[in-house]
Structure 1
Amino acid sequence: MIGQRELGIAELLYDTIMKCEIDLRSIFYSNSLLSGGTTLFSGFADRMKKEMTVLAPPNARIRIVAAPERQLSAWIGGSILSSLSTFQTMWITKQDYNEFGPSIVHRKCI
């Protein structure tokens, strides 16, 4: 939007990591996974690493994981998740949704 300052992707990632427990932050700095077709733009992973290196603490090891099939990562992850027996308790049927509305998501998934 014109005239508004929005956070960049690296800043959003940094803010998200900083909201995590301090003991987990180094794991997230060294295992940031890119997903989605937009991340296939030339130089995206290198720029993300460069920007995260500036934002993160000096001793943080920054590693950006950019799998070649990342444009399908969300679909692949959803496919794996839906095949787990433990996930089946979170399935929401049309009947559930019609009976309880959007609140059924909080009841079954959170």
Structure 2
Amino acid sequence: MLRGIVDRMQYEMTILAPSTMKTRIVAPHEREYSVWIGGSILSSLSTFQTMWITKQEYNEFGPSIVHRKYF
């Protein structure tokens, strides 16, 4: 993702944490796809299906359906 971000985060956390606390930043290589993986998992949950916006709703209200339904 961002070059050097892991080293920078490790440095910042080391400064902020007490000297007795060991810090470690975990940055999996597939983090580039984390949002897609999370979205896939979320959309497969039966409890999340009630929050879907149908094509019919979108066609009727357009993008404003998001505010209408969730805000």
Fold-level similarity (TM above 0.5): yes
Write the distance in 1 (CA, Å) between the matches of 2:50 and 2:39: 15
Give the number of equivalent residue pairs.
68
TM-score calculated relative to the size of structure 1: 0.48
Higher helix share: 2
- Which stretch shows the higher mean deviation, 45-54 or 98-107? 45-54
Tell me whether 1:103 sits opposite 2:64 in the alignment: yes
Query: Mapping of 1:28-47 within 5 angstroms?
Result: 38-39=1-2, 41=3, 43-47=4-8
Structure 1: where are the runs of 5+ without partners? 1-37
Measured in 2, the distance between the counterparts of 1:63 and 1:108 equals 40
Q: TM-score, normalised by structure 2?
A: 0.68
2:49 is matched with which residue?
88
Structure 2: give runs of 5+ residues left out of the alignment. Answer: none
Aligned residues with identical type, % of pairs: 69
Q: Which amino acid letter does the alignment assign opposite residue 87 of structure 1?
A: F
RMSD over aligned CA atoms reads 2.4
Q: Which one scores higher on RCO, CA 8 angstroms, separation ≥ 6?
A: 1
TM-aligned CA deviation for residue 44 of structure 1: 2.1
